[in-house]
């Protein structure tokens, strides 16, 4: 482990940047004058989110779980500076992930055709660096150029997620717990059965994942000394980007992300084109949005008194990382949970056992929701296979069973709220279990890390839906979110428990 203060000792101090300065820079680059602050943006970031947890850093933005041209037209008509598209590609094999990325680009560009909107594409992925890279940025480049768009000069890579303790210093990516830093390749995340890796240094990570196509020596590194020197020095480094070269950026704070954005804006004004491969907070910085305070119960439910009066909320847990298991244990130990139902993975993947097992779980959960909060969780022993693709297949089958349970429970006994824990779990619960196609992100339930969605269509309208990543927060974070949504007071009861 490394000490944060020691690692930062050789770098300039943090530079404060107002979010409004970033927003103004974006509008200026779009051709707006000083008096047009309320005009609809001509540039919109299309954020392809490889699981739904990427919305945790933003508020007041549309999110799509389907990506037909009409869905994009609805989202673009909101006048928002960014649109999130839940591709869930981290749960897919390479071919399916590639095809999904192509569809998003084609339909987004078709929806924007004939308007003054300029779309910029963002591949939002995991702050612990799991996901289809460089596949997804390669496919985005291919899809853009096939549609007549210019090829990017560089792919700006910013996995940092300061709100969750994920930071990058000297091109090395770390997880941060109470000031003690662990290089990310030394954590459980790097041992992922499908997306594992060996390099914490982002330049070496690019080399490793691209199988040498982008050698570490060619990767452009924007280290903190460059970032904190300001937009001009950043833009001068970016001037050397060409042929889609990866550009890896340090970030320790939100201000570092804003400085990076100002530098990118200056480079783009000089004619450079970029794609983005980023962690959750970069889109917030890129559009100049202030972090939203944690939502209160009143904000989560709005004026929907009927939903708020229901006796029980539903907590669905699919993630197997250690953090999730600790949070689940704490929830069961400290909250008045009326029933806990376990979905046995061994039964789910057995064709004969699956149907009766699912039926029993649905009946017990629906009955429990009449009395109070209910937990559904998959068995805690992680079941994997010999290959990454086979392990993904098991994950998909388990997720399909979770979705089946949620859909049936929603029809039988609508809950007060739904919380889904884990990326693949929360994606499938949203799009298939709750049948949400279009939603708005209200804001976070905890500071910058756990988003709440409000569906604008489907049977889940009026039910607050919380997307809770598997690998963030402290041991009591799940308890805090449940406490807020179970509260009869409109004051927030959540704590900044990181």
Do 55 and 147 lie in one domain? The reply is yes
pLDDT of amino acid 39: 52
Q: How many CA atoms lie within 13 A of 74 on its CB side?
A: 17
Q: What pLDDT shows up at residue 34? A: 39
Q: Do 398 and 254 share a structural domain? A: no
Same domain (yes/no): 318, 400? yes
Instruction: Assess whether 258 and 374 both reside in one domain.
Output: no
Shared domain for 429 and 349, answered yes or no, is yes
Q: Which of 263, 287, 311 is the last residue of a domain?
A: 287
Task: Give kind and range of the element (H or E) at residue 475.
Answer: none
Compute the distance between CA of residue 277 and CA of residue 257 in angstroms, rounded to an integer.
Answer: 13
pLDDT tens for each residue of 451-485: 999 999 999 999 999 999 887 889 999 999 999 99
pLDDT band at 494 (very low <50, low <70, confident <90, very high): very low
- Which residue range forms the structural domain that includes residue 328? 297-485
- Of 287, 311, 346, which residue sits at a domain end? 287
CB atoms within 10 A of CB 130: 21
- What residues contact 314, with CB distance under 8 A and at least 6 apart? 365, 369, 373, 374, 376, 406, 409, 415, 417, 418, 419
Q: Please give the full DSSP string across 263-301, using - where no structure is assigned.
A: HHHHHHHTT--EEEEE-TTHHHHHHTPPPPPPPPHHHHH
Question: Per the structure block, which two tokens stand in for 390?
Answer: 């086979």
Residue 133 lies in a domain: yes
Mean pLDDT of 213-225: 98
Residue 292 lies in a domain: no
Q: Is residue 495 part of a domain?
A: no
Instruction: Give per-residue pLDDT as tens, 101-138.
Output: 999 999 999 999 999 999 999 999 999 999 999 999 99
State which of 221, 252, 287 marks the end of a domain.
287
pLDDT at position 44 is 95
Which tens digits make up the pLDDT trace of 62-75? 999 999 999 999 99
Asked if residue 45 is part of any domain, the answer here is yes
Instruction: Tell me if residue 247 falls in helix, strand or coil.
Output: strand
Whole-number Å distance between alpha carbons of 455 and 372: 23
Based on the domain organization, do 321 and 281 belong to the same domain? no
Answer whether residue 350 shows pLDDT above 90.
no
Based on the fold, state whether residues 306 and 260 are members of the same structural domain.
Answer: no
Per-residue confidence (pLDDT) for residue 380, from 0 to 100 = 58
Residues 260 and 340 in one domain: no
Mean per-residue pLDDT, 342-358: 89
Q: Is residue 340 part of a domain?
A: yes
Asked if residue 122 is part of any domain, the answer here is yes
Distance (Å, whole) CA 156 – CA 170: 16
Of the chain, the end-to-end C-alpha distance in Å amounts to 18
Q: What is the DSSP letter of 149?
A: P
DSSP state of 14: P
The C-alpha atoms of residue 129 and residue 126 are separated, in whole angstroms, by: 5
49-58, 80-89, 435-444 — which is least confidently predicted?
Answer: 49-58
> The domain that contains 307 carries what CATH number?
3.40.980.20
Looking at the domain assignment, is residue 496 inside a domain? no
Q: For 139-171, what is each residue's pLDDT tens digit? A: 999 999 999 999 999 999 999 999 889 999 999
Helix 94-112, helix 69-77: angle, nearest 10: 50
What total number of domains does the chain contain?
Answer: 2
Residues 476 and 374 in one domain: yes
- The verdict on 200 and 334 lying in the same domain is no
**Do 203 and 323 belong together in one domain?**
no
Return the CATH number at 64. 3.40.50.10840
Model's pTM, two decimal places? 0.89
pLDDT of 286-345, one tens digit each?
A: 999 999 999 999 999 999 999 999 999 999 998 777 888 899 999 999 999 999 999 888
| Per-residue confidence (pLDDT) for residue 492, from 0 to 100 | 53
Please tell me the predicted confidence (pLDDT) of residue 495. Answer: 45
What pLDDT is attached to residue 178? 66
Q: What is the pLDDT at residue 424?
A: 78
- Reduce the DSSP state of residue 460 to 3 states and report it: coil
| In a domain? residue 407 | yes
CA 16 to chain CA centroid, nearest Å: 25
> Does 381 share its domain with 263?
no
**Cβ atoms 276, 159 nearer than 8 A:** no
Q: What average pLDDT does the segment 379-397 reach? A: 68
Closest CA to 246 of 316, 155, 162: 155
Q: 387: pLDDT confidence band, cut at 50, 70 and 90?
A: confident
């Amino acid at each position: 482990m490394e000490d944060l203060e020691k690692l930062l000792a050789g770098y300039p101090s943090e530079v404060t940047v107002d979010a409004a300065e970033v927003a103004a820079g974006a509008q200026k680059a779009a051709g707006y004058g000083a008096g047009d602050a309320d005009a609809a943006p001509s540039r919109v970031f299309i954020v392809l989110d490889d699981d739904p947890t990427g919305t945790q850093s933003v508020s007041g933005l549309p999110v799509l779980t389907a990506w037909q041209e009409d869905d994009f037209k609805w989202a673009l008509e909101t006048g928002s500076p960014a649109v999130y598209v839940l591709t869930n590609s981290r749960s897919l094999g390479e071919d399916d992930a590639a095809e999904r990325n192509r569809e998003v680009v084609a339909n987004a560009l078709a929806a924007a055709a004939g308007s003054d909107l300029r779309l910029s594409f963002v591949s939002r992925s995991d702050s612990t660096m799991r996901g289809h890279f460089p596949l997804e940025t390669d496919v985005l480049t291919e899809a853009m150029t096939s549609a007549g768009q210019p090829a990017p000069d560089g792919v700006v890579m910013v996995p940092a997620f300061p709100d969750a303790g994920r930071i990058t210093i000297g091109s090395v990516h770390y997880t941060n717990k109470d000031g003690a830093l662990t290089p990310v390749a030394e954590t459980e995340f790097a041992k992922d059965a499908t997306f594992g890796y060996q390099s914490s240094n982002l330049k070496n990570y690019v080399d490793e994942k691209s199988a040498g196509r982008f050698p570490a020596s060619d990767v452009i590194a924007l280290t903190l000394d460059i970032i904190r020197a300001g937009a001009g020095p950043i833009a001068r480094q970016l001037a050397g980007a060409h042929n889609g070269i990866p550009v890896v950026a340090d970030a320790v704070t939100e201000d570092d992300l804003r400085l990076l954005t100002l530098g990118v804006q200056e480079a783009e004004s000089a004619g450079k084109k970029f794609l983005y491969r980023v962690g959750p907070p970069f889109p917030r910085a890129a559009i100049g949005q202030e972090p939203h305070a944690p939502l209160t119960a009143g904000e989560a439910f709005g004026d929907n008194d009927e939903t708020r009066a229901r006796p029980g909320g539903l907590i669905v847990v699919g993630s197997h990382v250690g953090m999730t298991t600790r949070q689940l244990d704490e929830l069961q130990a400290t909250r008045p949970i009326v029933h806990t139902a376990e979905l046995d993975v061994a039964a789910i993947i057995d064709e004969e056992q699956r149907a009766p097992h699912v039926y029993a779980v649905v009946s017990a959960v629906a009955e429990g929701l009449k009395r109070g909060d209910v937990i559904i969780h998959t068995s805690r022993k992680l079941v994997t296979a010999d290959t990454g693709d086979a392990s993904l297949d098991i994950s998909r089958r388990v997720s399909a069973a979770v979705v089946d349970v949620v859909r049936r429970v929603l029809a039988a006994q609508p809950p007060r709220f739904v919380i889904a824990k884990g990326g693949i779990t929360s994606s499938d619960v949203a799009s298939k279990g709750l049948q949400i196609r279009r939603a708005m992100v209200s804001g976070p339930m905890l500071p910058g890390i756990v988003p709440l969605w409000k569906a604008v269509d489907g049977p889940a309208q009026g039910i607050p839906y919380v997307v809770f990543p598997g690998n963030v927060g402290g041991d009591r974070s799940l308890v805090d979110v449940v406490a807020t949504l179970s509260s009869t007071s409109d004051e927030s009861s959540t704590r900044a428990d990181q």
